[in-house]
Amino acid sequence: MRKLNKLTIFGLVVVAVMASAALFAPFIVRQDPGAIDLQNGLMPPSASHIMGTDSLGRDLFSRMVFGARISLSVGFVAVGISLIAGVIFGSIAGYYGGWVDSVISRFIDIMLCFPAFFLILATIAVLGPSIWNIMIIIGLTSWMGVARLIRAEILSLKEREFVEAARAVGASDFRIITRHLIPNGMGPVLVSATLGVAGAILTESGLSFLGLGVQPPVPSWGNILTEAKSTLGIAWWITVFPGLAILITVLGYNLLGEGLREHFNPHRKQ
């Protein structure tokens, strides 16, 4: 096993820390993230509130940790949806080729023509902002890259002899695709999925910041930032911490994804 480089390990650590913060949120925070304490509004970071409080006196650290839950689960579920859709469309296009491939590939081209963010905004405007809608819509507007990747992988894999050998022992098309081709082609897809999580977190934060994402009082990093906007001049901490969290998490996922891509690249110099 080749060693991972330092940046990749940094990415891995960031991802692990953020994920465990999200998973064990109730055990980490001391204050209820929804508990309002108007007496202590806009308190700067101190021993009792390590990240300070917001204008309603809610503990910012608690809200950040619970916000990690929302932001990360949006990232994961959205990428999960885009993986499923992308792998299904991509593998069908790659395996069957011909007109099936043409139809799916043109559909991918059409989907890529839409500016994704505006498509998301328009859909949310119609369906209403809820966390599930956001996950589904982000997923359904980001599967095209995955589909293209897996299509390309399968195009080359299906010419390999073990596919013919599988056919020769009586495996069906479905079995060949799911058992033999997809497991062999998942490497680059998983790398791009890692990068996709970062993109989904950014999209969610952007939507929430615009008020079209996760709705208050449920905390997400994006909507904490929205609330921070009005008090930016007097309470820097409400802006800085969620901003930093988004920055570091996205950076972490990107470094991890880049590192994995590099790690699995057979042309890399030793």
Binding site for other proteins (CB under 8 A): 160-162, 164-172, 175, 179-180, 183-184
* Contacts of residue 61, Cβ cutoff 8 Å, sequence gap at least 6: 29, 31, 49, 50, 51
Count of alpha carbons within 13 angstroms of residue 235, beta-carbon side: 25
Q: Helices in 39-172 by DSSP H: which ranges? A: 60-96, 98-113, 116-127, 131-140, 144-157, 161-168
**Which residue lies nearer to other proteins by CB, 6 or 175?**
175
Q: How far is the CB of 85 from other proteins (least distance, A)?
A: 23
Q: How far is the CB of 189 from other proteins (least distance, A)?
A: 14
**Which residue lies nearer to other proteins by CB, 87 or 198?**
87
**Which residue lies nearer to other proteins by CB, 91 or 205?**
91
Closest CA to 65 of 106, 110, 10, 25: 25
Q: How far is the CB of 158 from other proteins (least distance, A)?
A: 11
Q: What's the CA dihedral at 63, 64, 66, 70 to 10 degrees?
A: 120
As a whole number of angstroms, the distance between CA 217 and CA 55 comes to 13
Q: How far is the CB of 160 from other proteins (least distance, A)?
A: 6
CB 89 within 8 A of CB 143: yes
**Which residue lies nearer to other proteins by CB, 66 or 95?**
95
**Which residue lies nearer to other proteins by CB, 111 or 166?**
166
Q: How far is the CB of 150 from other proteins (least distance, A)?
A: 15
* Contacts of residue 226, Cβ cutoff 8 Å, sequence gap at least 6: 208, 209, 210, 211
As a whole number of angstroms, the distance between CA 200 and CA 78 comes to 7
**Which residue lies nearer to other proteins by CB, 106 or 175?**
175
Q: How far is the CB of 152 from other proteins (least distance, A)?
A: 18
